[in-house]
């Protein structure tokens, strides 16, 4: 294991150690963000040898650039996103609502990093009498949320001048992107009413997943890290729960913090903090990241001999294999999707509709979708092309 003794200001946000174990880079000189942008720096992540916290500590966080203000919007500009996000946020609210204050005893609500207001839409459709507002730094996204009629402040919570307080403050899938996890949570806390509840969801770092692969995910947190952060902020009640093992959703965790003596969070148990084997954790994350070199070779071999190479899909997993399987990606002629909309290009490849494919035995199509979808897709698509799946490499 390669240890990095980093400079004094590069301490672990959780335990303040500065002994980092370098994690492998899936590509030597570039990486990809959740918005599908290739940046010319490797992932550059390391794991704290004391507590297992993962941080992108070899490069400046993208949050220190204009990435979120200017470039993050393309995250939402993808084929079929409307349907995808609607379902995703409905499921997320189903999970989150189990930990909302009992008897709907909350009126004022703040959504931190609300994007285009998807979760605010869902909240209002379920809780009609709440007063909800959002904070979102990206102009394009906050404009869309405003056009839907939401009350949005276009900034980050750290920079917000809002001094109102709220009964419920929640944030979905933002914590892994922020520059300073403690500062972010602190800024939620100071806007919370005395009896209020904070709910934060983020990827679950205890199960290696696509979360590790993005250069705009600055951190991967274990459940025990969330517990420590909540305790440090002085919350009496700090609960963490992990999502079920469901291959269609990347593993997630949910943190609840409150000082309300009667809040029982649907009788949540506090996360048991296992004595974690840091070496085991390091090994499983390293293996996950190294799998991309093997996948690149595997795909390059499987497509050789075919004249027409297609990629099925134009979303997250496609951007990951585009970035980290270059020998495959350079041969891709187009991304194929079921129904084309106004988006014509993805990661430099044109997008075409499935029914426009001419069926020949010279076609090969690699599935650029989540591994759990592969078996069903193979059965559906094999009349058009030879299909290559790679779900034996990853679960998430
Ligand atoms: Zn640490």
The structural domains of the chain, with segments of one domain joined by +, span: 3-57, 71-258, 300-388
**Nearest partner of 312 among 209, 391, 389, 210, judged by Cα:** 389
Q: Please indicate whether the domains covering 71-258 and 300-388 agree at the CATH topology level.
A: yes
Separation of CA 74 and ligand 1 centre (Å): 33
Ligand 1 center–CA 31 separation, angstroms: 24
Kindly state the helix (H) or strand (E) to which residue 223 belongs, with its residue range.
helix 223-232
282 CA to middle of ligand 1, Å? 13
Ligand 1: centre distance to CA 54 (Å): 8
CA separation for the pair 263, 267 (Å, rounded)? 9
Spatial distance between the Cα atoms of 119 and 141, rounded to a whole number of angstroms: 13
The domain 71-258 having CATH identifier 3.40.50.150: the answer here is yes
When the candidates are 1.10.3470, 3.30.43, 3.40.50, 2.60.40, the CATH number that belongs to 300-388 is: 3.40.50
Residue 80 alpha carbon to ligand 1 centre in Å? 39
Cα 56 to ligand 1 centre (Å): 13
The pTM for the full model equals 0.91
- Over its length of 396 residues, how does the chain's per-residue pLDDT go in tens digits? 444 444 445 899 999 999 999 999 999 999 999 988 899 999 999 999 999 999 998 888 888 888 777 766 665 566 566 777 788 889 899 999 989 887 668 999 999 999 999 999 999 999 999 999 999 999 999 999 999 999 999 999 999 998 899 999 999 999 999 999 999 999 999 999 999 999 999 999 999 999 999 999 999 999 999 999 999 999 999 999 988 877 667 899 999 999 998 887 755 665 555 556 889 999 999 999 999 999 999 999 999 999 999 999 998 899 999 999 999 999 999 999 998 887 889 999 999 999 999 999 999 999 999 998 999 999 999 999 999 999 999 888
Q: How far is the CA of 222 from the centre of ligand 1 (A)?
A: 11
Across the chain, the runs of DSSP E, i.e. the strands, are 3-5, 19-22, 31-32, 38-39, 46-48, 54-55, 108-112, 131-135, 151-153, 166-172, 192-203, 219-220, 237-242, 252-258, 308-312, 334-337, 345-346, 349-353, 363-367, 386-388
How close is the Cα of 225 to the center of ligand 1, in Å? Answer: 9
């Amino acid at each position: 294991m390669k240890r990095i003794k980093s400079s004094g200001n590069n301490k672990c946000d959780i335990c303040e150690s500065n002994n980092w174990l370098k994690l492998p880079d899936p590509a030597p000189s570039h990486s990809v963000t959740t918005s599908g942008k290739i940046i010319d720096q490797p992932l550059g992540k390391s794991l704290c040898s004391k507590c297992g916290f993962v941080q992108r500590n070899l490069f400046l966080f993208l949050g220190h650039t204009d990435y979120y203000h200017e470039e993050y919007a393309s995250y939402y500009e993808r084929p079929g996103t409307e349907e995808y996000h609607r379902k995703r946020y409905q499921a997320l609210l189903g999970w989150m609502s189990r930990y909302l204050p009992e008897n709907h005893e909350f009126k004022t609500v703040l959504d931190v990093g609300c994007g285009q207001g998807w979760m605010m839409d869902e909240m209002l459709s379920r809780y009609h009498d709440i007063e909800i507002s959002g904070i979102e730094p990206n102009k394009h996204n906050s404009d869309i949320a405003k056009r839907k009629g939401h009350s949005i402040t276009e900034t980050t919570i750290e920079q917000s001048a809002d001094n109102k307080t709220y009964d419920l403050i929640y944030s979905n899938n933002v914590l892994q992107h922020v520059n300073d996890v403690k500062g972010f949570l602190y800024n939620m806390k100071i806007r919370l009413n005395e009896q209020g509840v904070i709910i934060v969801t983020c990827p679950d770092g205890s199960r290696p997943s696509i979360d590790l692969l993005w250069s705009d995910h600055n951190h991967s947190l274990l459940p025990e890290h969330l517990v420590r952060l909540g305790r440090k902020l002085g919350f009496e009640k700090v609960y963490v729960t992990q999502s079920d093992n469901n291959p269609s959703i990347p593993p997630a965790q949910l943190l609840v913090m409150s000082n309300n003596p009667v809040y029982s969070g649907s009788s949540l148990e506090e996360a048991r903090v296992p004595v974690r084997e840091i070496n085991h954790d390091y090994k499983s994350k390293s293996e996950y990241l190294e799998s991309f070199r093997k996948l690149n070779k595997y795909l390059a071999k499987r497509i050789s001999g075919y004249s027409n190479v297609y990629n099925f899909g134009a979303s997250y997993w496609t951007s990951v294999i585009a970035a980290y399987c270059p020998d495959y990606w350079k041969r891709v002629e187009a991304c194929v999707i079921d129904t084309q909309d106004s988006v014509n290009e993805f990661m430099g490849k044109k997008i075409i509709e499935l029914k426009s494919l001419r069926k020949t035995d010279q076609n090969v199509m690699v599935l650029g979708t989540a591994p759990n979808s592969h078996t069903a897709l193979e059965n559906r698509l094999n009349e058009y092309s030879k299909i290559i799946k790679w779900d034996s490499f990853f679960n998430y």
